[in-house]
Structure 1
Amino acid sequence: MRTGTANLPLHTGNAPAWLFGRMVRLAREIVSLLVTEFGPQEVLIRMSDPYWFQALGCVLGFDWHSSGLTTTTCGAIKEGLKGLEGELGLFVCGGKGGTSRKTPDEIRLYADKHSIGVDAERLVYASRMSAKVDSAAVQDGYQIYHHVFLFDRSGNWTVIQQGMNEANGWARRYHWLSAGLESFVIEPHTAVCSDNRGDITLNMVAAEAEDNRNVSAQIACEKPHKTVAEITRARELILPGRHPVTLADISPRYLEKILVKTYERQPQGFEQLLGIEGIGGKTVRALALIADLVYGAPMSRRDPAVYSFAHGGKDGTPYPVDKPNYDRTITIVKKAVEQAKLGNTETAQALKRMARFYEF
């Protein structure tokens, strides 16, 4: 399931070397202790919680509300666990930019080197599909540039990925968890946190978009020239400003090449369609629009964000605070910091940072 989304202001720059080095050391101690205390699967569950992850990033020493917290925290954890993966049974793949594209190879490498209880290709598929959903199926204006995939020996996994929207100056973080996942394309999340909520361009994983998903997959199985003709007519019929989803940036010639591939593959359902190499946001948008305009299968533009990350909660709006889970998070992180092999000064500073985070 996708367990949450957090919106953060988009900040540029890198963590200074002195800070990152300390973050690596602290991340190694905290995660190692958590694995010892609760097991690797519990660490995956905690990492999939955007609030818990944010608290961890703050304890490690990064700005609580910065987009850099995501990339730097994940980087510190990955670097900190180097050489300990086999001992802990916890593996971290991917990263920012070009490093994210190495995720499949890193998954396979760990699977070959260590005793993994599932086929590595299942994990590779989970990595690819989570990225595909948040970049092509949910078109919210945030371009994915960071993707980290964590898994254990039993094949449990979590994904932490982030997209940027340069137009509004924000980054949005997406969390996924394998536990409880029934479908990658039908409401795959249980909690989405975002300070910027509202209508988005297209949400193909919304429950109300089921008819559109089904029709889109059926259209993709038809002869390409028929679909391209319908798209060409739609481009001529849609007046600027009359429809929130546009085909202006979609080339019928390019789309026809993709549709030849889908016609040959004959995908059985939207998930199979989305999984075809070359299927991206433009193709998904074109098929969704034809399904809506020609076949009457309505699209969804609902933002999947339902929780506010930084504000609200005490009065039950927009959601009630889960106090037991909230308190448990504080206890777990505090205990891990206190037991970590750190100097007294570093321990005190980490606890102070955590306290400041929970004041917000």
Structure 2
Amino acid sequence: MYITGASELPLHSGHVPPYLLQYMKRLGKAIAMYILDEFGPTTLVKRLSDPLWFQAFNNVIGMDWDSSGSTTVVLYVLKDFANVNTFKDIGFAILGGKGIDSRQISEELKALERYSNLDIDRLSYSSRLSAKIDGVALQDGYTLYIHGMAISEDSTWTIIQQGMNINIKQARRYHIYSSNIITAENDPHSGIACNNVGVALNLIDRESHRARKTIIDIVNDDVHSVIREIAEINRMLRRNSTLTKWINKEHSISTNKRYIDPNKNPLFYRPITNLSRIENILRHIASIEPKNFDELLLMRNVGPETIRALALVADIIYSDTPSFRDPVTHAIDPFIYAYAHGGKDGIPYPIKINVMKESIEFLERAIIEAKIDDKTKKDSLKRLHRLWKDILNSIIHEKDFKDQ
């Protein structure tokens, strides 16, 4: 079983004020610890796989409702109390993070090897393949710079990744959840949410089945022939703007198979930037002979350019066109949750520290009481629900009054 999704967020400037970050950490811990105590670590891992729930959590603790920094803040708020050092006590941890921290997951997993219930090999494999799925097999114009992992004591995991499109200054967040092994040969995204839908090189789509098979066939065939085909395709792509004299339709490329319109997918139909590097990687691939697409993706140095070059051969030479579908299914608008305590940027209103303090104290008291007996636990949960409804109703009433 696996569930995934993604959200797209604009790039914001500025940092969380230190005083506010302390409240975010305290409230985030209180919410997460209540879930851990009431429902268990696996439930929290699964909830983090839902991009709407993830964003709502971000909003409730006071982070900007639509900021690209929300991913970083949520991960580090959780990791502050749920990490390798505390895993034994709470059965839940956040690994990795932004930038250099994203490359620490392997070391952090090694530190957890002493816990016999954890399948470290499977967790490591899932981490590496997830990064290749969203960074290589799916090429949508976003470059990954955050790679985090939430794990529970039974080896259930959620990968949370984020990529940045520097041209439009927007970030896209990807979630992959599973209690099993995933594969790039079966689109692992059950829900991707963002406001912008474009085109992509989508080799994890069902419609890319033939393209994936052809790619594996050609890398295990005559490597010299593949290199020549890529070089020829590259020459065509480099001079596509002057090829109108070859054909009837402007801005298309004539091949011995059909006409190719580069404008159909500019992310895909563009020249390879470093042919000599691609040639060296292809020779290495040929010496290994990968059995399937997952093995190819996980090979060292096989990145977006290599996969795109092979997909171009599959498309232009063998007529097995990959999917160009940007795997977006619905838009996310969790703005209502920003009314819980306000937002760092003052939207929908400046954070009400007193209300945040009340929520924190209520949750922390509920957690302590919940450890006493089941009746107290249930009563605490009912009071928490009533408090939330009262806060939400008063805020909505206040907003409606101002709008009149």
Same fold (TM > 0.5)? yes
- The aligned counterpart of 1:308 is 331
Using the TM superposition, give the Cα deviation of residue 184 of structure 1 relative to its aligned residue in structure 2, in angstroms.
3.0
Residue identity matched to 1:184: A
Aligned equivalents of 1:78, 1:110: Cα separation in 2: 15
Residue 33 of structure 1: aligned partner: 34
Please tell me the root mean square deviation across aligned C-alpha atoms, in Å. Answer: 2.7
1:287 to 290, 302, 310: 310
Counterpart of 1:172 in structure 2 is: 172
- Structure 1 counterpart of 2:189: 189
Indicate the SS of the match to 2:80. Answer: helix
| 1:162-203 deviations in Å (ceiling 9; x for gaps) | 111111121100001014665233211111101111222x11
Name the residue aligned to 1:128: 128
Equivalent pair of 1:49/1:175 in contact (CA under 8 Å): yes
User: 1:302, CA displacement in angstroms?
Assistant: 0.3
Conservation of the 8 A alpha-carbon contact between 1:5 and 1:174: yes
Distance 1:223 1:41, change over 3 A: same
Q: Distance in 2 between matches of 1:48 and 1:355?
A: 31
Task: Provide the C-alpha distance between the structure 2 equivalents of 1:90 and 1:140, rounded to a whole number of angstroms.
Answer: 32
Aligned to 2:272, the other structure's residue is in SS state: coil
Letter in 2 for 1:259: L
Determine the structure 2 residue equivalent to 1:261: 284
Kept in 2, the 8 Å contact 1:163–1:171? The answer is yes
| Paired position in structure 1 for 2:342 | none
Give the aligned partner of residue 298 of structure 1: 321
Q: 1:63 to 1:98 in 2, by over 3 A?
A: same
Alignment partners' CA distance in 1, 2:392 and 2:13: 22
Match of 1:152 in 2: 152
Aligned 8 A contact 1:90 1:152 in 2:
yes
Task: Give the AA of the match of 2:78.
Answer: I
The offset of 1:222, in angstroms, is: 2.5
In structure 1, distance between residues paired with 2:323 and 2:393: 39
Contact 2:5 2:49 in 1 (8 A): yes
Q: Equivalent residues in 2 for 1:30-179 (5 A)?
A: 30-82=31-83, 83-112=85-114, 114-118=115-119, 120-179=120-179
- Look up the match of 2:356: none
Q: Deviations over 1:294-339 (max 9, x none)?
A: 1111111100011111299xxxxxxxxxxxxxxxxxxxxxxx9685
Separation of aligned partners in 1, 2:332 and 2:276 = 42
Identity in percent? 33
Deviation at 1:33, TM superposition (A): 1.3
Which residue number in structure 2 is paired with residue 207 of structure 1? 206
- Structure 2 unaligned blocks of 5 or more: 242-250, 253-261, 336-358, 367-383, 400-404
Partners of 1:41 and 1:156 within 8 A in 2 = yes
Contact 2:198 2:326 (8 Å CA) reproduced: yes
Greater CA drift, 209-218 or 174-183: 174-183
Q: CA deviation at 1:227?
A: 1.0
Cα distance in 2 for partners of 1:354, 1:87 equals: 37
Indicate the residue corresponding to 2:344 in structure 1.
none
Residue matched to 2:275: 252
Q: How far, CA to CA, are the matches of 1:170 and 1:349 in structure 2?
A: 32
CA displacement at 1:270 relative to structure 2: 0.9
What TM-score, normalized to structure 1? 0.84
Does the CA contact (< 8 Å) of 1:133 and 1:185 recur in 2?
no
Determine the C-alpha separation between the residues in 2 that align with 1:197 and 1:186: 21
1:29 aligned partner, one-letter code: A
User: Which residue is equivalent to 1:330?
Assistant: none
Would the aligned equivalents of 1:337 and 1:350 in 2 still touch at CA under 8 Å?
A: no
Alignment check: 8 A CA contact 1:209 1:300 kept? yes
Structure with larger Rg: 2
Secondary structure class of the residue paired with 2:319: coil
CA distance in 2, matches of 1:354, 1:125: 46
Q: What is the deviation of 1:342? A: 6.6
Letter matched to residue 225 of structure 1 = H
TM-score by length of structure 2 reads 0.76
Q: Once the 2 structures are TM-superposed, how far is the Cα of residue 352 of structure 1 from its aligned partner?
A: 5.2
Report the 3-state secondary structure (helix = DSSP H, G, I; strand = E; otherwise coil) of the residue aligned with 1:31: helix
In structure 2, relative to structure 1, the CA distance for the partners of 1:352 and 1:6 (3 Å cut) is farther
8 Å contact kept, 2:272–2:309: no
Contact 1:223–1:260 at 8 Å: present in 2 too? no
Please say if residues 93 and 150 of structure 1, whose CA atoms lie closer than 8 Å, have aligned partners that are also in contact. yes
Q: What's the secondary structure of 1:340's corresponding residue?
A: helix
Deviations 1:140-170 (A, max 9, x none): 1111111111111221100111111111121
The correspondence of residues 341-356 of structure 1 with structure 2, limited to 5 A, is 341=364
Please give the alpha-carbon distance, in whole angstroms, between the structure 2 residues aligned to 1:306 and 1:248. 30
| Aligned amino acid, residue 235 of structure 2 | E
Residue aligned with 2:148, SS:
strand
* Letter of the structure 1 residue corresponding to residue 91 of structure 2: G
For the 8 Å contact 2:185–2:209, the answer to whether it is kept is no
1:218 deviates by 1.5
Whether the 8 Å contact between 1:9 and 1:171 is mirrored in structure 2 is yes
Quote the offset at 1:356 in angstroms: 7.4
Corresponding position: 1:233 with 2:250: no
